[in-house]
Amino acid sequence: MREIVFDTETTGLNPQTGDRLVEIGCVELVNRVETGRVFHSYCNPERSMPPEAQAVHGLSEAFLADKPLFEDICEDLLDFLEDSPLVAHNAVFDFAFLNNELGNCGRLHIGNARMIDTLTMARTRHPGAKHSLDALCVRFGIDRSHRVKHGALLDAQLLAQIYVELTGGRQIGLMLAADESTLVAEAVMHHEPIGGRRQRAPRPHAASEAELARHQAFIAKLTDPLWTVTGASG
């Protein structure tokens, strides 16, 4: 199963009042495992950067001035996303900005049916606890020492690890679906490789003549062994 974990950085909190997306980072997961494929881009928002927003992510107007517009990266982004479920922390916020940018480009919005919100998952699993990205990294023992400021790709990579923990932990890959277990059983029966690994030949396990002789000598020393008693009731 393919899923995309993503995060955005913006000029503010509300796209309906003119705030824009300035960075997006995406991480590809297949069966809850990072594949190494990512998508990352900064975007020129064509507007000023409020000081309070810059304090969060460190992206200045000067830095973003020569970056592509969202419309310039739109096709590459959609090609990367495909039709996969999209995982985000406080996903309503990220979806609002992403869909606002898509709408500005004349593209269809991404439906909420594709939304997976790790904030909702964390609140359900750990009610009353702190649910920020930093707090969840601490809870699950995920190294965030390199996170000085918010960054879309870095935060998406951290969130990918959090999402794995929220959906079963690092050992989730040890669980086999019913169809997978059937395939494994059939492979064992036919001595075929599983997952590309060659199976070892069965080890000899029959007793040798010397072992059988020692066993008979041991049995001969027993006095009235149970299996020789006649008339015993079950």
For the annotated catalytic residues, the residue numbers are: 150
205 annotated to a ligand binding site: no
At 104, list the tokens: 């500005």
Which strand ranges, in their side-by-side order, compose the sheet holding 86-88? 33-42, 21-30, 2-10, 86-88, 115-117
User: Which helix (H) or strand (E) is 28 found in, with range?
Assistant: strand 21-30
Q: Where are the alpha helices (DSSP H) in 67-221?
A: 70-81, 91-104, 118-125, 133-140, 152-166, 178-189, 209-220
Q: What's the number of CA atoms in the CB half-sphere (13 Å) around residue 224?
A: 3
Helices (H) and strands (E) in the chain, counts: 9, 5
57 annotated to a ligand binding site: yes
Q: What's the number of CA atoms in the CB half-sphere (13 Å) around residue 7?
A: 19
User: Which helix (H) or strand (E) is 61 found in, with range?
Assistant: helix 61-64
**CB contact at 8 A, 26 and 81:** yes
Q: CA–CA separation, 229 vs 185, rounded Å?
A: 43
DSSP assignment, residue 170? T
180 annotated to a ligand binding site: no
7 annotated to a ligand binding site: yes
| Binding site as annotated, residues for substrate | 7, 9, 52, 57, 155
| Binding site as annotated, residues for a divalent metal cation | 7, 9, 155
| Binding site as annotated, residues | 7, 9, 52, 57, 155
